[in-house]
Structure 1
Amino acid sequence: MPQLSGAVVLVTGANGGLGRELVEQALARGAAKVYATARRPQEWNDPRVVPLTLDVTDADSVRAAVAQAQDVTVLINNAGTSVESDTLLALSDEEIREVMETNFFGPVAMTRAFAPVLAASETSAVLNIHSVLSWIALTGAYSASKAALWSATNSFRVELAPQGTQVTGVHVGYMDTAMARGVDAPKTSPGEVARKSFDGLEQGDYEVIVDEISAGVKLGLSGPISALYPVLASNSPA
């Protein structure tokens, strides 16, 4: 099973609340080096952190990151985006594609590009940050992108197993970050999400269910779809 101690980690979206926690907690667990990537990377007061410019939606940027980070043993696909008024009927084609590019095509491109690098290590891992919205469509494009990423994570888990790369997916409800600032609901701290994610990774878990919201929704997938979507239950024929 992969361990953070001595690992070389690459974190996408490292400037954000969860991204920064993932960088800092990887270091606290003994990571030898962390590539902290973002479109405009920040400076870090730790010689083990390597700020790296990366746009996960740009193929040339992804290739440049692979060329510079040939020693990565743990890839963390954390970068994500959302848009306001997120319903598939209201968003423009451009907005829908933007969300899919960042939340789905980006992590897929990163995993494909870094797969040969990870194969060179005796133990390696991919950690994908999903959402409870992978399982319930409370938003339009964002939910669709996270559902697609969940499916891709399951595929990569099978495809990368022969080379010894563990693939772990993290599901979480509302996090106390800028993305959920306007949501009036209980929120999990980025620190707790990072801790549980790394606990699961080091324990060899394929899936990390961070909170009760995610656990409840996953359990609900085995029931009738109208139970997950009250509007369907209220509009169904008697």
Structure 2
Amino acid sequence: MNIKGSVVFVTGANRGLGLAFVHGLLAAGARKVYAGARDPATISIPGVQTIKLDITNPDEVLAAATIAADTNILINNAGILAPGAFLGENGAAASRRQLETNFFGTLAMAQAFAPVLHENGGGAMVNVLSVLSWLNLPPIGSYCASKAAAWALTNGLRNELRGNRTLVVAVHAAYIDTDMAKHVEGPKTSPEEVVRQTLEAIELGREEVLSDDITKKVKLELNAELPIYVREWSK
């Protein structure tokens, strides 16, 4: 499908990758962009319709789907990261909090907007995931688990929505140069490049985006005799 002339809803649109999606969509000729954020006042971009949205709030999710009933592309970008190992003091609480946003919040948006997309011809749903969908790093174990769950959700949604002619795109990235990764050492991909690849995938009908070399390497090595998710933490 074409980005030009489309109507797009972006969650977590007030900063980082979400904000880059808003700018990228406008530059690509989207007819309308809805920008969802917990505090809409933090978004001040001409031509964008802001919507108050906490994806863990069922009433706000349903209200957003009602307001944005002309949407034909949904970008599920909103997510949180809370450091903490599974066996740490706050392991269970951190896991619940991140699953509530990264999995259940994404599920709520999918449930609310799938009928909207279907009514408008099918369109596309994009779920922003992570290379950590396939790895688990001890300092952020619960975050990795939430992204693994979101990956499984994405695969399930893809199967359920194929009959509605809805393209479901999984976006996997390692470190993106945003506030979430500001303390991380190592190569980072610009949010604009992730957006560029994602919009290209939508237009070409691709179901997966591997946005950088690290992500491509990890995905490739999942089939190794000793997979990377075991090898890296068994030394």
TM-score, normalised with respect to structure 1? 0.93
2:104 maps to: 105
| Greater mean alpha carbon deviation, residues 86-95 or residues 188-197 | 86-95
Structure 1 position 89 matched with structure 2 position 106: no
In structure 1, C-alpha distance between the alignment counterparts of 2:186 and 2:229, rounded to whole Å: 18
In the alignment, residue 168 of structure 1 is paired with which amino acid?
V
Kept in 2, the 8 Å contact 1:168–1:208? The answer is yes
Query: Aligned in 2, Cα 1:187/1:232: closer, same or farther, shift over 3 Å?
Result: closer
- State the alpha-carbon separation in 1 of the partners of residues 171 and 87 from structure 2: 28
Could you tell me whether the CA contact under 8 Å between 1:226 and 1:233 is conserved in 2? no
Aligned length: 231
Moved more, 119-128 or 89-98: 89-98
Say which SS state the counterpart of residue 97 (structure 1) adopts: helix
% identity of equivalent residues: 45
TM norm structure 2: 0.94
Matched, 1:35 2:34: yes
Which consecutive unaligned segments of at least 5 residues does structure 1 have? Answer: none
Matches of residues 187-202 of structure 1 in structure 2 within 5 Å? 187-202=188-203
| Residue 225 of structure 1: how far off its partner (Å) | 4.1
* Root mean square deviation of aligned Cα: 1.4
Give the Cα separation in 2 of the matches to 1:30 and 1:11: 15
- CA, structure 1 residues 32+95, in 2 after alignment: closer, same or farther (shift >3 Å)? same
1:81-230 map, 5 Å: 81-84=80-83, 86-90=84-88, 91-138=90-137, 139-225=140-226, 227-230=228-231
Q: How far did 1:231 drift?
A: 5.7
How far does residue 94 in structure 1 lie from its aligned partner after superposition? 2.3
Partner in structure 2 of residue 17 of structure 1: 16
- For residues 171-196 of structure 1, give each alpha carbon's deviation from its aligned partner in whole angstroms, at most 9, with x where no partner exists: 00001111111111110111111111
Q: Which moves more between the two structures, 170-179 or 216-225? A: 216-225
1:12 and 1:37 in contact (8 A); partners too: yes
